């Protein structure tokens, strides 16, 4: 049974383009007030899935409900609930920012004081006030992206779908937009599609990974990294005789393999591989002390989101 807090429910979604199946039996739910990262390599089915959710293209089979509304039966009502920033923002280059924002606001049903108030708010939120009379075609890519974000939010939607929203932004702008997405996520549902995995990890409360049209993983960043088989390797920076390292480290209980990289002055970077998830840092430290080695670093590997993404999308 669907939770009353479920904003988006996708059930057995399939999309066929001729002989190509872009989305394969995908099912997932997104809750109200959730910031969801939607990841996948190029051609995995991310954009196709988002276009179906936004009623831009129909599904071949499957069901989608937005805030309880079936998108096939209530597509107009569903569209009103969604703000969408595609990877290539839908802008009119010959319009000024103000002309464009008023045009979009009117299409969304705003008028009078409500229209003026909402545009001022978007200028403030997206840092566009100084650009309001500039022609869109003459804006930098970063400012064009801001205009695209403003148009997606102008009607105060319940759901905001962002496809590569950080594209073209400088580091300061990225921090600002990241903070904005987090604030929005306290009130509305946000889907954040991106290839910048560090940004997704820093911004999103949960992550879906799609590969070859199928959902292959779902969970918080911490849950995904915990499932990735991390922790089976230690790194040591140690000053010692190579033969002593090669003889003694493999004798430590749990160690299966060892690679050494000499960095000069008798120092080595050692990667120690294990057949266990148990902590053996104390044993490696004791080995170094017992043999009189100088140890400057000892750490256990922690899988990153990039590691998880690579393993899942390459079948590793």
Query: What integer pLDDT is reported at residue 90 of this predicted model?
Result: 85
Mean local confidence (pLDDT), 178-197: 87
Query: Angle 22-209-165 (CA atoms, 0-180°, nearest 5)?
Result: 90
pLDDT at position 74 over 60: yes
| Cβ partners under 8 Å of residue 167, min gap 6 | 87, 141, 145
**49-53, 70-74, 193-197, 297-301: range with lowest mean pLDDT:** 193-197
Query: What integer pLDDT is reported at residue 2 of this predicted model?
Result: 55
CB burial of 167-186 (b: ≥16 within 10 Å; e: otherwise) equals: bbbeeebbebbbebbeebbe
pLDDT at position 278 over 90: no
Mean local confidence (pLDDT), 120-127: 92
Q: What pLDDT band is residue 224 in, cutting at 50, 70 and 90?
A: confident
- Above pLDDT 90, what percent of the chain? 67
Mean local confidence (pLDDT), 71-99: 94
Q: How high does pLDDT run on average in the chain?
A: 90
Query: What integer pLDDT is reported at residue 229 of this predicted model?
Result: 53
Q: What's the pTM?
A: 0.77
Identify the residue with better confidence: 31 or 1: 31
- Residues paired with 211 in a beta bridge: 214
pLDDT at position 171 over 60: yes
Query: What integer pLDDT is reported at residue 196 of this predicted model?
Result: 77
Query: What integer pLDDT is reported at residue 1 of this predicted model?
Result: 46
**66-75, 116-125, 152-161, 218-227: range with lowest mean pLDDT:** 218-227
pLDDT at position 3 over 80: no
SS3 156: coil
Yes or no: say if 313 and 211 are a contact pair by the CB < 8 Å rule. yes
What is the CATH topology of the domain spanning 233-300? Alpha-Beta Plaits (3.30.70)
| Cβ partners under 8 Å of residue 122, min gap 6 | 101, 128, 150, 153, 154
Identify the residue with better confidence: 41 or 115: 115
Q: Which CATH number fits domain 6-226: 3.40.50.800, 3.40.50.300, 3.40.50.1580, 1.20.58.100?
A: 3.40.50.300
**Tokens of residue 103, six digits:** 């045009």
Yes or no: say if 25 and 13 are a contact pair by the CB < 8 Å rule. yes
Spatial separation of the C-alpha atoms in residues 306 and 314, rounded to whole Å: 12
Domain ranges of the chain: 6-226, 233-300
């Amino acid at each position: 049974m669907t939770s009353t807090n479920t904003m988006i429910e996708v059930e057995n979604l399939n999309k066929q383009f001729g002989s190509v199946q872009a989305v394969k039996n995908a099912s997932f739910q997104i809750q109200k007030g959730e910031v969801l990262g939607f990841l996948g390599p190029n051609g995995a089915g991310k954009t196709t899935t988002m276009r179906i959710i936004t009623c831009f293209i129909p599904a071949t089979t499957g069901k989608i409900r937005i805030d309880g509304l079936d998108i096939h039966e209530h597509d107009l009502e569903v569209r009103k609930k969604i703000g969408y920033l595609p990877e290539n923002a839908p802008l009119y280059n010959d319009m000024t920012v103000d002309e464009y924002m008023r045009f979009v606001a009117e299409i969304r049903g705003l008028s009078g004081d409500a229209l003026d108030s909402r545009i001022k708010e978007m200028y403030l939120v997206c840092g566009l006030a100084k650009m309001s009379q500039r022609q869109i075609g003459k804006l930098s890519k970063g400012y064009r992206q801001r205009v695209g974000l403003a148009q997606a939010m102008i009607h105060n939607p319940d759901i905001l779908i962002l496809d590569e929203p950080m594209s073209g932004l400088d580091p300061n702008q990225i921090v600002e937009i990241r903070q904005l997405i987090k604030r929005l996520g306290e009130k509305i549902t946000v889907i954040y599609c991106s290839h910048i995995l560090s940004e997704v990890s820093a911004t999103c409360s949960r992550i879906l990974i799609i590969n070859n049209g199928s959902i292959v993983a779902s969970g918080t960043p911490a849950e995904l990294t915990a499932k990735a088989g991390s922790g089976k390797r230690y790194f040591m920076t140690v000053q010692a005789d190579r033969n002593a390292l090669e003889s003694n480290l493999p004798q430590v209980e749990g160690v299966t393999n060892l690679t050494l990289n000499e960095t000069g002055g008798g120092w080595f970077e050692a990667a120690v591989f294990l057949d266990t998830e148990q902590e053996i840092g104390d044993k490696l430290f004791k080995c170094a002390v017992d043999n009189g080695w100088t140890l400057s670093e000892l750490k256990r590997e922690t899988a990153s989101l990039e590691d998880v993404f690579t393993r899942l999308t390459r079948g590793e």
